[in-house]
Structure formats: structure tokens, C-alpha cells
Structure 1
Amino acid sequence: MTGSAPNPDADAVAWGDLLAGSYREIGERAMRDLPIYNDALGVEAVGFRAFNGTIVGIMVTPWFMNVVLPASAVAQATSGATARIRFPAGDIEFTISEVGQIGRIASCSLFSPMFQFADMDAARATAEAALAELMLPADSEEAVRRREPATTPIDRRNFLRGTLTERRG
């Protein structure tokens, strides 16, 4: 008998797709006519993957972008409660809520409303970048480098001339 090994990332993608379906229904039923709804966007599950025995990804909708995971990752949490979950980048606070037939989820808001995004490509790229940052260990060389201010050395001659921020002819 041949078979394939279980694929936790495939399960994560499937869960993200189910969650996206619930949000599509919510969008059509309850959100479309609200002033926070960005018609240029759709609903998409971005980057869903297995993580520390659960699932994590980013849900993009026309009204929010959230990091989400099943609330089963948070023991005994009830809707409206908050929970801190450890990620490589650090501890993140999530709020527990109920979503349609999916049940309880934990979510952390990244953006709401979503008017700073002109299209799904921009929203998706932001979601992918946010998830990459979340998975980057806080003490890694890359994370430390990103936290350093992007400054250029002060040129003594320009400092004394007062031309640090503008060029003079």
C-alpha cells in the first residue's frame, strides 16, 4: 500500500481557504455596504502554514488584514478574551472571536480599514512581508540589522557648511 505522508502545510492552506470562504460570505452579507469596505480588494488567505503544532497565516479582506490562527492554540480562551502567543519575532497579543462555521479563532489586527491598499497585489505583498517579519527571530542578524536606523555618516565638511540636507550649486 502506498500513501503520502501527512502534509501539515496543506492542512493549513485548506483551513485558511475555509476561513476565507467564511469571510467572503460575511463580506457579501454584512460588510459590503459599510464605509470601511474597500471595493478594490477581495478576501484571500495569505501564507497559511503549520506553526508550533497549530496553523498561522494572514487573512486579507476588504475591511481588515489580520494574523489569524485557530483558537484551539489558546487553551480555554473565550470570545472577547485576549491571549499572548509566542512567535520567533516575539510575543503577540491576539483576540479570540467566533467566525461562522469555522468556530473560534485568534486574531491580531494589522490594518483596518484597508484604504491604504490600491489593489490585492499591494495587500498581498504587505501580508507576505508581515508574515515573514513575524517568523524572523527577534535576535537574528537580519532582525537586528533591520532595527538599526538607516543613517549615513556625517560628512564634516558638509556639516560645517550647513549642507547636510540640501545640495548647493
Structure 2
Amino acid sequence: MTPNREQHPRRSVHADASAWGEMLSAAYRDIADRTMRDLPIFNDALSVEAIAFRAREGRVVGMMVTPWFMNVVIPMRDGTSQSSPGPGSNLRLRFPAGEIEFTVSDLVPVGSIASYSLFSPMFEFEDMASARATAEAALAALMSPANRAASHGTDAPHISSFDRRHFLHGVLTERRA
């Protein structure tokens, strides 16, 4: 550990998560400039921004907003483990609001990432402020155990996974019979 980490371990973990989010946004800005800008799914009113990347239970998690999508994103570890899922694989992770299934992909120069799509394309957002507010609210809802507890009332059916269709409408998990 560096001396700064020894003195302020919480702050440095947060700084590492934030730095990873910024590295991710730099990769997506490059993609935006090289290949996405002229496509019909590109919302010119938006920009690329990493929102609220933080450490959570040994993983970095945050929201990635681009002019063509909004995703919950986590970095995969080094990817050298045989148990690490490869690109195109799915990875189920539990959050306080429920379990969601991420898709694993490779993003040069960042490496392997796991993402969960909330919006694509992004035409319902008129400006970056509204996209940012939605991303922050979505991540807060995902991290709130109260959302899971509310959906597990005494009369509630079994809840097994996160449902993106209901994500911002107060029903954060898909009900299964």
C-alpha cells in the first residue's frame, strides 16, 4: 500500500473507482468520435460521462452515459482466471435492490467489463442534465435495500431478478410466478 492509502484507505478506494470510471469514459469518448457520431442512434444533445463510480463489496460499479446508451458497468478482474466469464457471457450479481444479469465484453483499452443496459438509444433525454439525474437516481435505487424489502412484503410473490422495464417506475424487480 502506498502511504496515502494507509492514511486514507476509504478515500483511495473511492479515488481508484472514480479513476476507473474516467478511464472508461475516455474509451467511450474515443468510440463516439471515431464510429458513433454519424449513426442514427447518436443523440447529439448528450455527451459521454462516467456517473458515480464507487467501490461496493470489492467491486467497482457505476453508470456509464453515452449519446447512444446508459448502462450499469463494472470492470471484470484480470480475466486470467478460468472461472472468469468471457466476452458474450452473462454474469449475475446481487445488489441491495436485487440480482441483475450483466453481459461481459471487452473494451480496448479498458479490458473486460460487465454491463447492464438501462436505455438504448437515448432519445428520450433532451439534455445531459436529465440523463445524469436519471443515472444517479437509477444507481441510488439499485443500491437501496429498501427497494428490495418493499417488493418482498408478506403478500409479494417471489422476486428473483432485476427488471429494467420497471427500474425507474418504483418496481425494481421482475415478479416470477
Residues 133 and 100 of structure 1, relative CA distance in 2, 3 Å threshold? same
How much is the aligned-residue C-alpha RMSD, in angstroms?
A: 2.0
Do structure 1's residue 56 and structure 2's residue 61 form an aligned pair? yes
Shift, 1:5, TM fit: 2.2
Distance, in Å, in 1 between the alignment partners of 2:78 and 2:61 is 10
Tell me which residue corresponds to 1:124.
132
* Alignment length (residue pairs): 145
Return structure 1 stretches of 4+ with deviation > 4 angstroms. Answer: 141-144
84, 88, 92: which one aligns with 1:80? 88
Q: What fraction of aligned residue pairs are identical, expressed as a percent?
A: 56
40, 48, 57: which one aligns with 1:35? 40
Equivalent positions of 1:62-73 (< 5 A) are 62-72=67-77
Distance, in Å, in 2 between the alignment partners of 1:72 and 1:48 is 16
Which structure 1 residue ranges, 5 or more long, are not aligned?
148-169
TM-score normalised to structure 2 length? 0.76
Residues 142 and 121 of structure 1, relative CA distance in 2, 3 Å threshold? farther
SS class of match (1:42) = coil
CA contact (8 A) 2:43 2:67 kept: yes
Residues 139 and 109 of structure 1, relative CA distance in 2, 3 Å threshold? closer
Which structure 2 residue ranges, 5 or more long, are not aligned?
154-169, 172-177
Shift, 1:143, TM fit: 8.9
TM-score normalised to structure 1 length? 0.80
